[in-house]
Amino acid sequence: MKRIRTQVAIIGAGPAGLLLAQLLHRAGVDSLVIERQSRPYIEGRIRAGLLEQGSVDTLTEAGLGERLHREGLAHEGMELRFAGGNQRIELFGLTGKRVTIYGQQESVKDMVAARLATGRPLLFEVADTALHDVSSDAPRVTFTHEGVPHEVTCDAIAGCDGFHGPSRAAMPPEVLRVYERVYPFAWLGILADARPISHELIYARHEDGFALATMRSETVSRLYLQCAPDEDLALWPDERIWEALHQRLGAVNEGPITQKGVTAMRSFVAEPMRHGRLFLAGDAAHIVPPTGAKGMNLAVADVRLLAPALVALLRGDGRLAETYSARALARIWKVQRFSWWMTAMLHKFSADDPFEHRVQTAELDYVCGSEAARRSLAEQYVGLPYDE
């Protein structure tokens, strides 16, 4: 058994865990990051792409913005498309803020490089991660790395291990309350070497279902189609995907498809996000459907609150730690509501429900016709101000 002592044990090297490690390092706090997957796996995992201005600012302040500013695509608007309607939402004009397209795996690469440069530990391919004594002042994490069992003693554990990680389950069941909604559809996402159809994102509601045109660069398109929750990718040869995209989005530039995947859609919140010396952040505590592009942004917002709370706790002041969960959840629920609303407005919920169809059209008509409604959408889409 190898024994290690650190101040904060961070479980998970996704955006939440890696950003927390960086912020703690800059505040002079020691941490150990453990990750179940390999480095190439997490650096290649295709996921989110859109960063709120506040997330860009947070990453920049953390010293992680150099390539993001060079390669990220800043957008000042987005488009809603539906039967007969085609509306640009002037994000910058309505809010003075922009959003930035920069693949999550690119942020992850930047954060892994920054972490390795600090010389502080980041261990990949760990197994059997388990949390112990989280209610005490001396919590522990055990795991196996390169065949050797490890035990980490620490002052606090940050559970940044995503929806399926062990941290949330380490909270005593009697203190944890879960709120959940599962949607009757999923997204089939592709990455293609094809020029994006527009400089900006297009969210389309069509009678066949939702579609989204986004991008990773000026030559790489990222496209999504609403599909069945248990969709079999084998039934979606490339021609069928392009046909459905043309149908729902109109003219789409085709090119070789380099990646295909199906993403389930769920809204989920676990409360509270802290018990004793265990703190949850990011997808470990909450999931949003991707329609509002909020998952990674919420992970960043959580960590923005968690890092100073942990720094203060380690100096003997537990006040920010006490209120971390409530302050994080105040934003999370607003973002949950926004993501649920965007999802409800743009997807087809049932095969044949003319009422639903009319209400969605009315909603889109209203959003497009009212500056107040567009401003409300824009304000949430670019990211609500941080409440600190």
Question: Is residue 13 involved in binding ligand RFL (CB under 6 A)?
Answer: yes
The rounded Cα 264 to chain-centroid distance in angstroms is: 14
Q: Choosing among ligand RFL, ligand PHB, none, which partner's interface includes residue 160 (Cβ < 5 to 8 Å by kind)?
A: ligand RFL
Binding segment toward ligand RFL, per CB under 6 A, in 43-51, 69-77, 334-342, 374-382:
43-51
Closer to ligand RFL by Cβ: residue 212 or 311:
212
Of 8, 266, 59, nearest to 162 by C-alpha is 266
227 to 21, 51, 347: CA distances (angstroms): 37, 25, 10
160 backbone dihedrals φ, ψ, rounded to 5° = -120, 40
Question: Is residue 161 involved in binding ligand RFL (CB under 6 A)?
Answer: yes
Residue 179 annotated among the catalytic residues of the structure: no
Question: Is residue 160 involved in binding ligand RFL (CB under 6 A)?
Answer: yes
Which residues touch 191 (CB under 8 Å, ≥6 apart)?
46, 216, 220, 221, 222, 257, 258, 259
Closer to ligand PHB by Cβ: residue 324 or 381:
381
Rounded distance, CA 43 to CA 122, Å? 14
Q: How far is the CB of 282 from ligand RFL (least distance, A)?
A: 2
Beta-ladder partners of 142: 130, 151
Q: Which of 65, 103, 282, 383 binds ligand RFL (CB under 6 A)?
A: 282
What number of other Cβ atoms are within 10 A of residue 71's Cβ?
14
Which strands form 148-153's sheet, in the order they lie side by side? 2-5, 148-153, 140-145, 127-132
Question: Is residue 293 involved in binding ligand RFL (CB under 6 A)?
Answer: yes
Instruction: Kindly compute the dihedral angle of the four CA atoms of residues 301, 325, 308, 72, in this order, to the nearest 10 degrees.
Output: -10
Binding segment toward ligand PHB, per CB under 6 A, in 45-53, 235-243, 276-284, 357-365:
45-53
Residue 183 annotated among the catalytic residues of the structure: no
Closer to ligand PHB by Cβ: residue 141 or 364:
364
Closer to ligand RFL by Cβ: residue 365 or 379:
379
Closer to ligand PHB by Cβ: residue 30 or 379:
379
Q: Choosing among ligand PHB, ligand RFL, none, which partner's interface includes residue 291 (Cβ < 5 to 8 Å by kind)?
A: ligand PHB
Q: Choosing among ligand PHB, ligand RFL, none, which partner's interface includes residue 309 (Cβ < 5 to 8 Å by kind)?
A: none
Residues 203-262 that bind ligand PHB (CB under 6 A): 214, 222
Of 279, 297, 280, nearest to 288 by C-alpha is 297
Q: How far is the CB of 159 from ligand RFL (least distance, A)?
A: 9
Closer to ligand PHB by Cβ: residue 31 or 214:
214
Question: Is residue 13 involved in binding ligand PHB (CB under 6 A)?
Answer: no
Question: Is residue 291 involved in binding ligand PHB (CB under 6 A)?
Answer: yes
Binding segment toward ligand PHB, per CB under 6 A, in 46-54, 108-116, 308-316, 317-325:
46-54
Question: Is residue 290 involved in binding ligand PHB (CB under 6 A)?
Answer: yes
Which two tokens mark 343? Answer: 């999802």
Residue 334 annotated among the catalytic residues of the structure: no
**91 three-state secondary structure:** helix
The answer to whether 123 and 132 have CB atoms below 8 angstroms apart is no
Q: How far is the CB of 95 from ligand PHB (least distance, A)?
A: 17
What number of other Cβ atoms are within 10 A of residue 360's Cβ?
20
Rounded distance, CA 111 to CA 108, Å? 5
Residue 75 annotated among the catalytic residues of the structure: yes
Question: Is residue 383 involved in binding ligand PHB (CB under 6 A)?
Answer: no
Which two tokens mark 23? Answer: 């912020």
Which strands form 278-280's sheet, in the order they lie side by side? 122-123, 31-34, 8-11, 156-159, 278-280, 274-275
The answer to whether 270 and 333 have CB atoms below 8 angstroms apart is no
Closer to ligand RFL by Cβ: residue 65 or 282:
282
Residue 203 annotated among the catalytic residues of the structure: yes
Binding site for ligand RFL (CB under 6 A): 11-17, 34-37, 42, 47-50, 104, 126, 129, 160-162, 165-166, 187, 189, 263, 282-283, 290, 293-297, 299
Active site residues: 75, 203, 290, 294, 381
